A and B are shown apart, each in its own frame.
Chain A
């Protein structure tokens, strides 16, 4: 589904450059459940951003379904993010001005879905994550776990092929985190590809495989690299 070839990412800090990713090549297949792990500052978030076309690599190539999308026009990038990717963030990133249901409806408005349809879909999704009774609440009126479940419902609104979750349980107590993990696992069972950054080794073990980063480089012997031979 996704193939990265020799991806590197440098940040230019006025004189000094930071190599956030160095020559990373990997492949993620449809239906995979991958965990990205590594110490702080090792490039996990950078990797997620590049996978999600939220940032552009300074070197290398990105193939999506064998199409080279390394340098797509902005409008095309936006369309792919909207229709094919779902994002879940550590800090939830809900819009405080919008109610739970409006937050879930938002990505559908960019897909051009009519009001009634996106509202029905949002109701279904919120019920699915157990928030049928919180639809019109503003995010500030919801607990962290509830907010993250709204964010998951939002990420699912356009039926994405790939969920990208950067430390989705990082801001949650472990029991609430467990709820999130269960939702992600059930999504993966339904065939959605899930890539998740985590610091939690237990969560890493529950994934299909772990991509390990250190200083912006993939650790050789990482299971993914043995399985694929890029």
Chain B
């Protein structure tokens, strides 16, 4: 039950529906805008830090110029391609650049699995044309897959063999990598081992599975680590599973990883012709990216001639995007803060007229035993009613608003934390501004207050 003086305040609030309603709307809009603006800038900055700390943005990616140009001009591209071919041997460029921590190859790759249904069918005819259809590097071509044809009887035998894994889906994607890939992304094996130098020079087809892919292949009948040592049946041959990775956040969990080999067994010369190998050089300190790029550029120029490779710096591109997003977010924060401030000044004004109308009542309250402190608390109650109801309404307004703005800025689902912080902060300011008008009562005598009209 509220005490009687508080009832006066609450009922005045209730009885002046229009004025109170407008006040709350003004406060809610101001707080909502401010909270959304704050949430936007904080989430933008947090998201930027997060992506900038990803290994992806400590890398320089080197590819042949042909790859960059081939989309626009396939004829010219052929000429260039003859000259520039990158191989794992070129990773030694890292020795010249002291900033480089890890150097590796990471090419997109794909395995065509033989399932119980498709085993006796011919491989699909519609293979993509040579030259690569995605920017991430080449993928094995039709030539690569012609190897295995299996009859129904053979397939039945294989199904009976517990050392052979026959998948229920017919394609998996992954990467051909060299061993430092795992160091650079800080990936560890949950069981078995990762790809080593020996696997790269060896002749056996081995693969390492991402955690989710392993679970998918194991199905319900097996534990994932029972896959180790077993052979996955694919058109490209048996793939011996040598390791399973611990989960990583970067979307590698559904992929497989196989050793990168400059010459794929038996099809020598194929890669030279059709595969674009991408080399990645990861530096320890992003500050070194630019100087490392210069060193690498010199090295490749001396090795391959002028203008044969493209060195791209994903971080520089991302930084540009981030600084644009941050700039826009700051502007929005400034605008919303300005709107909020204007709302606050208006709130203060309306509160001033409310307080003036309360002046005589304040005198009477004092005569009946209210100290100045309790008068202050009373107006604090009024300001809090306003700030809390406006704050809640504002936060409800800010949630979809900031969600929309963040989607527009390409930020993943920002947390509600900053909206809450923004609403509480703005609510606190509203309370302070709402209290300013009642400070006049701290100086006057009850008699003086009572003498006022109304």
**Chain A interface residues toward B at CB < 8 A:** 49, 52, 54-56, 74-75, 77-79, 81-83, 87, 89, 93, 95, 97-98, 102-103, 105-107, 109-111, 115, 154, 158
Contact = CB atoms under 8 A, between A and B. Distances in A.
12 contacts: A54-B447, A55-B445, A79-B369, A81-B367, A82-B369, A87-B368, A97-B15, A98-B11, A102-B4, A105-B4, A107-B369, A109-B4
A106 B5 contact: yes
Contact of A98 (B1, B4, B447): B4
A110 B446 contact: no
Contacts of B369: 78-79, 81-83, 107, 110-111, 158
Contact of B372 (A74, A98, A105): A74
User: How would you classify the secondary structure of chain A's contact residues: helix, strand, loop or mixed?
Assistant: helix
B447 A78 contact: no
B445 A54 contact: yes
Contacts of B450: 54, 93
Nearest to B369: A82
Interface in B18-34: none
B53 interface: no
Interface in B349-377: 360-361, 363-374
A54 B366 contact: yes
Contacts of B368: 81-82, 87, 106-107, 110, 154
A198 B263 CA distance: 117
Contacts of A102: 4, 7
B7 A115 contact: no
A93 B12 CA distance: 16
User: How would you classify the secondary structure of chain B's contact residues: helix, strand, loop or mixed?
Assistant: helix
A95 B447 contact: no
A55 B447 contact: yes
B71 interface: no
Contact of A52 (B4, B5, B7, B367): B367
A26 B369 CA distance: 25
A110 B374 contact: yes
Nearest to B449: A54
B4 A49 contact: no
A74 B371 contact: yes
A77 B15 CA distance: 32
Given A56-B445, A95-B4, A110-B5, 7 more contacts: A54-B445, A55-B446, A75-B371, A81-B367, A97-B15, A103-B4, A110-B370
The 5 closest A-B pairs by CB, nearest first: A82-B369, A110-B369, A78-B371, A55-B447, A106-B4
A115 B2 CA distance: 9
Given A52-B367, A54-B367, A97 B11 contact: yes
B448 to A, nearest CB: 7
Most buried by A among B7, B8, B369, B374: B369
Contacts of B361: 95
Contacts of A154: 368
Given A49-B447, A54-B447, A87 B367 contact: yes
Nearest to B364: A93
Nearest to A105: B4
Contacts of A56: 445
A95 B364 contact: yes
Contacts of A75: 371, 373
A81 B367 CA distance: 6
A78 B366 contact: yes
Given A75-B373, A110-B370, A115-B1, A95 B8 contact: yes
A111 B328 CA distance: 56
A109 B448 contact: no
Given A81-B366, A82-B369, A106-B368, A54 B446 contact: yes
A109 B367 CA distance: 14
B209 to A, nearest CB: 70
Contacts of B447: 49, 54-55
Contacts of B3: 109
A9 to B, nearest CB: 10
Most buried by B among A56, A75, A97, A154: A97
A103 B364 CA distance: 11
Nearest to B366: A78
B5 A55 contact: no
Contacts of B365: 106
Interface in B368-402: 368-374
Contacts of A55: 445-448
A15 to B, nearest CB: 19
A83 B369 CA distance: 8
Interface in B408-454: 445-448, 450
A52 B367 CA distance: 8
B354 to A, nearest CB: 13
A115 B1 CA distance: 8
B377 to A, nearest CB: 11
B5 A97 contact: no
Contacts of B4: 95, 98, 102-103, 105-106, 109
A79 B445 CA distance: 15
A103 B365 CA distance: 11
Contacts of B12: 97
Most buried by B among A56, A75, A79, A93: A93
A97 B8 contact: yes
A107 B369 CA distance: 6
A97 B446 contact: no
